Amino acid sequence: MERLEALWKYQELDLLVDQYNLEKKNSDSRQRLLKIKNYLIKQEQNLVSMDNNADMKLDLLAKLHQEYSNIKDRIQIQLAKLETDEVLSLEELDELTKEGLTLKNNIRKKEEELEKLTQDLKKFQRRLDDIRKRVASAKTEYVEVKKDYDAEVKKINEELLKVKSQRDKIGEEISKPLMAKYKNIKSSKSPVISLLSDNQCDGCFMSLASLVIQRVKDGKKIVECENCGRILYYRESEESIPS
Ligand SMILES: [Zn+2]
């Protein structure tokens, strides 16, 4: 029975190790760090897509400026024609006036488009500044919370190391095959060892056949619960009245 008692003690410490690890994983500061990290990743993606968007808008602005200056050049040419001493026919004059009106219309439209795009870019820039500010303050917060987290983890790790070394010391007394079995079961369920109590497996609460109970109490062989696969252990102190 001694080997199972050692394994039982090993398990107690092993569960404590799990608990410390869980504490680290669930710590408030860690959750906050993850939240800030996710926020930063999202904003980073946001900035990249805004950057692409800004490039597009700037290209459009350059194109509009070009179109605007083309129309202006054309108007200059028309005006120059009107200012020469050349005698124009009525048709030519009509043509010039007509084109002049169209050009005037077009340039007004371009001016409107330019104005709209400029406002758009200003709005865009404000949004960008806003995001950058928020990202900067999130980063500052991250550094602060990280300090808390590091302190928290350091404290837990100190305890964790102590318990781990106690556990591993006991582990040295346990045979390799038994330890391998323990670890194998542990990979799918925890705790690994179930106590026999009221003729039941206290891991899954299944009632055990009297033959099984006897074998567990004999302690000559390792008996696993047929239902849940845990190693069954009978501890005198847990059930003082023998059945
Ligand atoms: Zn069971």
Break the chain into its structural domains and give their ranges: 15-171, 176-238
Q: Is the peptide bond before 177 cis (omega within 30 degrees of 0)?
A: no
List, as own/partner pairs, every contact residues 9-13 make where C-beta atoms lie below 8 angstroms and the sequence separation is at least 24, other chains included.
9/170, 10/167, 10/170, 10/171, 10/174, 10/182, 11/182, 11/191, 11/192, 11/193, 13/163, 13/164, 13/166, 13/167, 13/170
Distance in angstroms (rounded) separating the CA atoms of residues 205 and 182: 20
Backbone angles phi, psi at 207, to 5 degrees: -75, 140
Could you tell me if 196 and 169 are in contact, meaning their C-beta atoms sit under 8 angstroms apart?
no
pTM (2 d.p.): 0.69
Q: How far is the CA of 218 from the centre of ligand 1 (A)?
A: 18
Q: Does domain 15-171 sit in CATH 1.10.287.1490? A: yes
Residue 136: the pLDDT is 96
Residue 171: the pLDDT is 96
User: How many C-beta neighbours within 10 Å does residue 166 have?
Assistant: 16
Q: pLDDT, tens digit, for every residue of 145-183?
A: 999 999 999 999 999 999 999 999 999 999 999 999 999
User: How many C-beta neighbours within 10 Å does residue 207 have?
Assistant: 12
Q: How far is the CA of 181 from the centre of ligand 1 (A)?
A: 16
pLDDT < 50 positions in the chain: 239-243
Q: State the maximum Cα–Cα separation within the chain, in Å, rounded to a whole number.
A: 130
Q: How far is the CA of 184 from the centre of ligand 1 (A)?
A: 16
Residue 241: the pLDDT is 46
Q: How far is the CA of 165 from the centre of ligand 1 (A)?
A: 29
Q: How far is the CA of 178 from the centre of ligand 1 (A)?
A: 18
21-47 burial by CB neighbour count: b if 16+ within 10 A, else e?
A: eebeeebebbebbeebeeeeeebeeee
Residue 237: the pLDDT is 65
Q: How far is the CA of 171 from the centre of ligand 1 (A)?
A: 24
Q: pLDDT, tens digit, for every residue of 27-39?
A: 999 999 999 999 9
List, as own/partner pairs, every contact residues 232-238 make where C-beta atoms lie below 8 angstroms and the sequence separation is at least 24, other chains included.
232/193, 232/194, 232/195, 232/196, 232/201, 232/208, 233/4, 233/7, 233/8, 233/193, 233/194, 233/195, 233/196, 234/1, 234/195, 234/196, 235/5, 235/8, 235/195, 238/195, 238/196, 238/197
Q: How far is the CA of 238 from the centre of ligand 1 (A)?
A: 17
Q: How far is the CA of 196 from the centre of ligand 1 (A)?
A: 9
Q: Could you tell me the two tokens for 90?
A: 């009525």
